[in-house]
Amino acid sequence: MELFTYYRSTSSYRVRIALALKGLEYQAKPVNLLKGEQRGEDYLALNPQGRVPALRTDDGALLVQSPAIIEYLEEAYPQPALLPTCAKTRAQVRGVAAIIGCDIHPLHNVSVLNQLRQLGHDETQVNQWIGHWISQGLAAIEQLIGDDGFCFGATPGLADIYLIPQLYAAERFNIDLGGYPRIRRVAALAEQHPAFQQAHPARQPDTPN
C-alpha cells in the first residue's frame, strides 16, 4: 500500500496509527502541504479534492478521507480489531471519533485558518477560534470515554486513533488539558505505545530535521 501523507496532517496521522496498530507495511508518499503540492496537477489527478491522506491499495484503488480509509483497513485487515463487536458499543466509539472528525478538526484545518486570515483575522483571533472548537469538543469527549485504559478499554481503538492526533494539534495551539483527566490518561498510555510512537509526526520521512 501507498499512503499519501503529510507529517503534521491530523488526518494522515490517524491513518498512520491505524496502519501501525494493524502491523501493516506501507510506502509513505509525502505531499508537502506548505508547498501546495496537494494542489499540483499530478496530485489532483489522483485525488480531485486535493487533500491528504489518500491510500492506494495493493490492487491500485485510491481511497480518500481518513474515516473511509480507516473503516476500509478494519474491514480488509480485521485483526487486531479497532472496533468492539457489539453494534451499540461500536456506535459509542464511532461517536467519539465523529466528534473529533466532524466537529473539532474541520474547524482548524489549515484551509479554514487560511480562510479566516483572508477575512482579515490576526493570529490572536485565529488562535482563539481554534481554542474555542478544540476545548468545546474535548469537554464532551471527557464525559463520553471510560474511566481507565484507552478511550474504550485496555487496548487502543478507533476513538484513540482520532484523539491522539487531535491532542497533538491541541498542544501545537497551546490548549490547556488540565480539565480533562481521562483524556490525559489516554494520552499518557499512547505515548508509551509503539504504534502511536511509530505514527507520530516527529518520526515521518517528511519530518523536517
Contacts to a copy of itself by CB under 8 A = 48-51, 57, 59, 61, 63-69, 71-72, 75-76, 87-88, 90-95, 97-99, 101-103, 105-107, 109, 112, 115, 119, 121, 125, 129, 132, 137, 139-140, 143-144
* φ and ψ at residue 95, rounded to 5 degrees: -65, -45
Whichever of 39 and 203 has its CB closer to a copy of itself, that residue is: 39
CB of 15: closest distance to a copy of itself in angstroms?
Answer: 12
CB of 76: closest distance to a copy of itself in angstroms?
Answer: 5
Q: Which residue has the cell 485565529?
A: 126
The separation between the first and the last C-alpha atoms of the chain, rounded to the nearest angstrom, is 26
Whichever of 44 and 205 has its CB closer to a copy of itself, that residue is: 44
Whichever of 90 and 198 has its CB closer to a copy of itself, that residue is: 90
Q: Which residues pair with 18 in a beta bridge?
A: none
User: Strand order in 54-56's β-sheet?
Assistant: 27-30, 2-5, 54-56, 62-64
CB of 95: closest distance to a copy of itself in angstroms?
Answer: 4
Q: For the packed helices 66-76 and 10-21, what is the interaxial angle rounded to 10 degrees?
A: 10
